[in-house]
Chain A
Amino acid sequence: MNEKPAELDKPQLQETSNSRRPVEHSTNENEQTVKPVEIPNETETKPTVKQKLHRKPSVTRKCVTPKVNCPEKIILCIDHSAIMFTNKFKRTVQSMKQQAVFQVLTGAVRNFIKTKSFIDSRHQFALVLLNQTPQLIVDFQPSGQQVMFMLNDIGTQFNESELVEVDDETFNLSTLFDQVKDMVPLPSVKHPDKPGPPPYVVRMIFVFGRSSSTLKFCENDESFQKLNSNPYFFCDCVYIHEEPNDGNCVTDNFMQVCELDKNGTSFIFEVGTDGSMSSLYNAFANLLAHPLQRQRDINVNNHDILLSPE
């Protein structure tokens, strides 16, 4: 399967047609092409980050699963650190005032849950909040009402003046995957070479928002390996970050996030707070795709309906 989109053939610094760049959501101008955000001079690391957005050619899909639209058990693992509430998206839409990352995320997740339930009411949702340790807040439920309610509640309860804690230096992926592994048994695989249609798939959507904490497996990655040995487990990630620079860990973190795509089946998105809040909504619109039925290489033309073939 040819993984590389055409953009990679151009010289590295000419990233103008890169579809993962945060996009200005313009309501007044009639733009035909995606308008890129200007690259500040000191971020020489930025092109490197962008390069990692494309699937590495070596990560090919290990086994082919049937394209059935079985129910999904979706675990939303959402970063609950202080930075999620203090960071704001620079650009807003429709003359709204600037909103904190967590607020925008609540809106995007709400749309995601409502739409998923509309497409198929069998999909189930669970919520895990990530502080020092992952905390299961809402266990699997058919309607995402509880999850949406909790996110709303948490968002409104946050008081900026109460913020005293400093975020940890490291976020431990080991405990996260330990938690996910314990949440639900994965469907058994009868024929490893040719897996049949499962009763459900398990999908983890990991939303991480820290730019100054390192992301890594502090202990072993046994749970992670075990989960990924099952073809019915999927791990999607959304990394919300500030502008990458030498002072923060954004580049390294993004590399680690991409490493989480072990089987070549993950959707990995990065959203910069220096861009528009609509990019977070766009990421979740992409995440609506069913893991068994979606095409991996989705970044080619940004779903632009004007560019699709006749």
Chain B
Amino acid sequence: IKIENPISSSPPGSTDTPQNDIFTIAVPFGGEVIRWQFIFDGTNQKISPDILLPSTGFDDFDPEFDDIKSLLHWDNENKDSLLLAVQETVHLFKEHQRQVCYGIDKNLSSELSELLTEVYLKRAPKTKAPKSLNVLVKIPVDLKPLLEMFSKEISERDSIIHSPLLLVKFDLEVKKAVPMPFLPSHFEKIIGSKDQLNIPPYTMSTTIHQYVKKVEEKLTEVVQTVVTSQSKRCEYVAAFLRQFPADVLEYDAQNFSSISLVFSYQTFYFLVHISLSKFFPQNLPSVTLQSAYHLTKQDELFKKTFTNYPYSPRWSGTEMAKRTKNFILEKIPLFKDSCIRNGVL
């Protein structure tokens, strides 16, 4: 059972005693949030709380009191009592939902029981027909190599490892499915954003099992790319240092994500700033030319960035340095003219 966020209590309701002893506990489950009320008795703390479950939309989830062991043997001295009670209730709820799914679609539910997922079924309010099904799956991807590499960038808070989760929302009326990945925050920070993942769309012909496998492969591939990118970027920067040793101004000596150089072309001094992404060499570095003299009319440095030039991720660092130099040579006469025409000294 995964509880991602700490349990949040909504503001407590009122009772006939001045103390706060009724809580609403919000538990994230299957992509939705379920709220149960726990009613304590302020006057008698030894009695276990009652759980009030909302009556609508829960398919008559009404667990036997006896099934919730921690309520049966309530120990008000134990700090974890409430947590245990919630955990057990959630567990029962999970089972209950699975059973309901079984009633609807036997295949789906057998898959689900294999995957150890959380499922959450929503029914249309009037007809009680199944409306949508949320399936939340944990994706078993090894993120350790990534964490080792970027340990400095990850704050302590982020380093509590969570596995990536995948939520697939099935719209049972329209028969469509929308996959939504949930990534641990440090992972998302490292790769930039969720959109960089490019997970394949969900087609109704695949089973959940197959789809989860596909997503797992994709995530593993992304981790691989980022891990090897570091050494590739180092090779690229090293090639520039070798080819232009006297022209290098500054470079990122830790992650090799940038390098700046100064050149002159027919006595015109200009700067070259190169920026490499975490997905290098799949993504090509951006090359920015800058005049050593001019500013724009808006008082900014006079620069021009190129993100499209002859490039292949399969070239060696040396080859890339050589080709980048040739590209710059091609573009510099026009850039120089543009500085003189449009730039301000």
Contacts and interface: CB of A to CB of B under 8 A. Distances in A.
Interface string A272-298: 000000100110111011100111011
Interface in A52-72: 67-69
B267 A305 contact: no
Q: Interface of chain A, helix or strand or loop or mixed?
A: loop
Contact of B271 (A26, A94, A285, A294): A285
A119 B248 CA distance: 12
Contact of B345 (A68, A96, A286, A288): A96
A151 interface: no
Contacts of B263: 303-305, 308
Interface in B210-242: none
B9 to A, nearest CB: 41
B328 interface: yes
A7 B290 CA distance: 30
B301 A118 contact: yes
A284 B249 CA distance: 12
B246 A94 contact: no
A166 to B, nearest CB: 32
Given A31-B266, A282-B292, A288-B262, A308 B243 contact: yes
Nearest to B247: A303
Nearest to B245: A295
Interface stretch (B85-93, B105-113, B250-258): B250-258
A247 interface: no
Contacts of B309: none
A115 B267 contact: no
Interface residues of B, number: 37
Contact of A115 (B265, B266, B271, B329): B271
A125 to B, nearest CB: 15
A75 interface: no
Interface in B273-306: 273, 290, 292-293, 295, 300-301
A93 B332 contact: no
B150 interface: no
Contact of B250 (A284, A286, A288, A297): A288
Contacts of B243: 308-309
Contact of A298 (B246, B260, B340): B246
Contact of A281 (B250, B292, B329, B340): B292
B244 interface: yes
A281 B245 contact: no
A289 B266 contact: no
A68 B253 contact: yes
A288 B262 CA distance: 9
A90 interface: no
Interface in A1-35: 23-27, 30-32, 34
A31 B265 CA distance: 9
B345 A289 contact: no
Given A293-B250, A294-B248, A295-B248, A303 B269 contact: yes
Contacts of A293: 248-251, 253
Interface of B: 243-254, 258, 260, 262-269, 271, 273, 290, 292-293, 295, 300-301, 322, 325, 328-329, 332, 340, 345
Given A26-B267, A68-B254, A305-B328, 17 more contacts: A93-B293, A115-B271, A119-B273, A281-B292, A281-B293, A285-B292, A288-B250, A288-B271, A289-B249, A293-B250, A293-B251, A294-B248, A295-B245, A300-B246, A305-B263, A305-B264, A310-B322
Shortest 3 CB-CB distances between A and B: which pairs? A305-B263, A285-B292, A290-B250
